Chain A
Amino acid sequence: MLSNPLALIAEITHRCPLHCVYCSNPLELAAAASELQTAHWQRVFREAAEMGILHVHLTGGEPLARKDLEELTATAREAKLYTNLITSGMALSQDRLKKLVDAGLDHIQLSFQDGEAGSADWIAGTKSHAHKIELAAWIREHRIAFTANLVVHRQNLDHLEKTLTFLETLRPDRIEIAHTQYYGWALKNRAALLPTAVQLENALRVVAAAEARLKGRIRIDSVVPDYYAQYPKACMGGWGRRMILIDPTGRALPCHAAGVIPGMAFENVREHSLRSIWTDSPAFHKFRGEDWMQEPCRTCDRRTEDFGGCRCQAFLLTSDAAATDPVCSLAPKHSVVLELLHQVLADVVVPSTISASKLADSWKYRPNPTRA
């Protein structure tokens, strides 16, 4: 029997004042004029709650770019959804923060690019670090949960220990250390972002030490980078199994990157109810369950744990969306990933942190979508 999704990822806009090189948004960004209207989102939130969805993650782009964010937050909370804002915090004033809290926001996840302004602003492609520090102090004045999120990669892993010490001073309830996943802009910038094995080992040690030190005070959630893992991640908890993502234009996707898989048609919430999309959409059925699986997934004991890994990654690295995720050590195409890691190993003879000028050619900042 098909169970209900547990979380709704509401990608309410692709507009963003930051230009992070690892942004998970698709390369083709949705124009401002194509975004869903307030009433659409409000209907979607109510339908989500009626279906038994528990969490809504308001994300983007930068959700604050939408003037109706307070209204959307209030509707989500009134519908009894646990309301989470995933933000860069840029231009969030004390006054607007209070309005969001009053509207019923449960949790704010604030992104950091690094522990010090120079590097952080370079990675974000804009001056943003100083404001985040100010904002973190304002957040602590309210009774909402606060997570500091840090995306890590080759350019910032070497000073992870210092960065964690810095994040600790902001007094978050949680620190999320997310290794870059290679989709969208991150895939474009992979050569500059993929960490070395030495960096990774060191990071694991630093994280373990911080976990022990901060136990009971700050919870640390750390996601191991899948290129280096033995088995793939259970991407989205399985295709069409736990989560539904609505993009800024209203398309319903099983995950952030599903749009890259060719030949897929995604229903739009402008025309369909959330429930009918969940139960009837061919796109959601495509990789649901096990019928689509090939060997070795088809007979693998781990198939109920990792669901064969990520479909988008399988497509991006092997051109076959139904292949075993090539990060899996059992995958027929695992050599693709080993080859990439081998390349990183070869690069270690040069310093692992490449200078900004050297990177200029390959470093692609994520732009802002067009208006129309």
Chain B
Amino acid sequence: MAISETSKPTLATGCRWSDNAQTPGREEEPMLLFPEGAIKVEGTGLAILALCDGQRTFPEILEELQRQYFGADPERIRDDASKFLEELHEKRIVDY
């Protein structure tokens, strides 16, 4: 499902962040956990998901990303973020 201007993305039910604080050597490695597995999220992906709190709308998330990635092409940010979130939506990891 295509993400829209009014979408408020959030982690889907049953998906959550791992807490690796106690695991030696893996403290800085946030893992996104879901029923059939886990993925390591890094860089831009992590920045996008950190903003998906179910409160912010998609345009608000883009605005915030633009602030974080100052100077980046806004079209490119929109393309990357929508592709990333739509893919996770299809996998039932993100809801909006």
Smallest Cβ-Cβ distance to A145: which chain B residue:
B14
Residues on B with beta carbons closer than 8 Å to the beta carbon of A221: 36
Smallest Cβ-Cβ distance to A221: which chain B residue:
B36
Segment with Cβ contacts to B, from A50-58, A114-122, A249-257 = A50-58
If over half of A's interface residues share one DSSP class (helix, strand or loop), that class is named, otherwise mixed; here it is mixed
Contact of A144 among B1, B14, B22 (CB under 8 A): B14
B92 touches A106 (CB 8 A): no
A145 touches B15 (CB 8 A): yes
What is the size category of the interface that chain B forms with chain A? 20 to 34
Among A6, A49, A173, max chain B CB count under 10 A is at A173
Q: Tell me the bound Cα distance from A174 to B15 in angstroms.
A: 13
Q: Is A219 an interface residue (CB 8 A)?
A: yes
| B1-33 interface bits toward A, Cβ cutoff 8 Å, 1 = contact, 0 = none | 100000000001111101110110010000101
Q: Is A227 an interface residue (CB 8 A)?
A: no
Q: Is A239 an interface residue (CB 8 A)?
A: no
B89 touches A216 (CB 8 A): yes
Given contacts A174-B92, A219-B91, contact A54 B35 (CB under 8 A): no
Q: Is B53 an interface residue (CB 8 A)?
A: no
Q: Tell me the bound Cα distance from A84 to B23 in angstroms.
A: 21
B90 touches A215 (CB 8 A): yes
Q: Is A315 an interface residue (CB 8 A)?
A: no
What is the size category of the interface that chain A forms with chain B? 20 to 34
Residues on A with beta carbons closer than 8 Å to the beta carbon of B91: 219
Q: Tell me the bound Cα distance from A215 to B16 in angstroms.
A: 22
B22 touches A109 (CB 8 A): no
| A196-207 interface bits toward B, Cβ cutoff 8 Å, 1 = contact, 0 = none | 000000000000
Q: Is B50 an interface residue (CB 8 A)?
A: no
Residues on A with beta carbons closer than 8 Å to the beta carbon of B18: 54, 80, 82
Residues on A with beta carbons closer than 8 Å to the beta carbon of B92: 173-174, 218-219
Given contacts A216-B89, A219-B91, contact A55 B33 (CB under 8 A): yes
Residues on A with beta carbons closer than 8 Å to the beta carbon of B72: none
Q: Is A143 an interface residue (CB 8 A)?
A: yes
B23 touches A52 (CB 8 A): yes
Residues on A with beta carbons closer than 8 Å to the beta carbon of B13: 143-146, 173
Beta-carbon contacts under 8 Å, A330-355 to B:
none
Q: Tell me the bound Cα distance from A147 to B20 in angstroms.
A: 26
Q: Tell me the bound Cα distance from A219 to B19 in angstroms.
A: 26
A50 touches B35 (CB 8 A): no
Beta-carbon contacts under 8 Å, A188-235 to B:
215-216, 218-219, 221
Q: Tell me the bound Cα distance from A267 to B30 in angstroms.
A: 32
Q: Tell me the bound Cα distance from A144 to B16 in angstroms.
A: 11
Q: Is A107 an interface residue (CB 8 A)?
A: yes
CB distance from A5 to the nearest CB of B (A): 12
Residues on A with beta carbons closer than 8 Å to the beta carbon of B34: 145
Residues on B with beta carbons closer than 8 Å to the beta carbon of A6: 38
Among B14, B23, B90, max chain A CB count under 10 A is at B14
Given contacts A173-B92, A216-B1, contact A50 B14 (CB under 8 A): no
A54 touches B36 (CB 8 A): no
What are 28 A-B residue pairs whose CB atoms fall within 8 Å in the complex? A6-B38, A49-B23, A50-B22, A52-B23, A52-B26, A54-B31, A54-B33, A55-B38, A80-B18, A80-B19, A80-B22, A82-B18, A82-B38, A106-B14, A106-B16, A144-B13, A145-B15, A145-B34, A147-B35, A173-B14, A173-B35, A173-B92, A174-B36, A215-B1, A216-B89, A216-B90, A219-B90, A219-B91
A54-B38, A82-B16, A145-B13 are known contacts; what are 10 more A-B pairs with Cβ within 8 Å? A6-B38, A52-B20, A80-B18, A84-B35, A106-B35, A146-B14, A147-B35, A173-B92, A216-B1, A219-B92
Chain A to chain B: the 5 pairs with minimum beta-carbon distance, closest first:
A145-B14, A216-B1, A107-B35, A82-B33, A219-B92
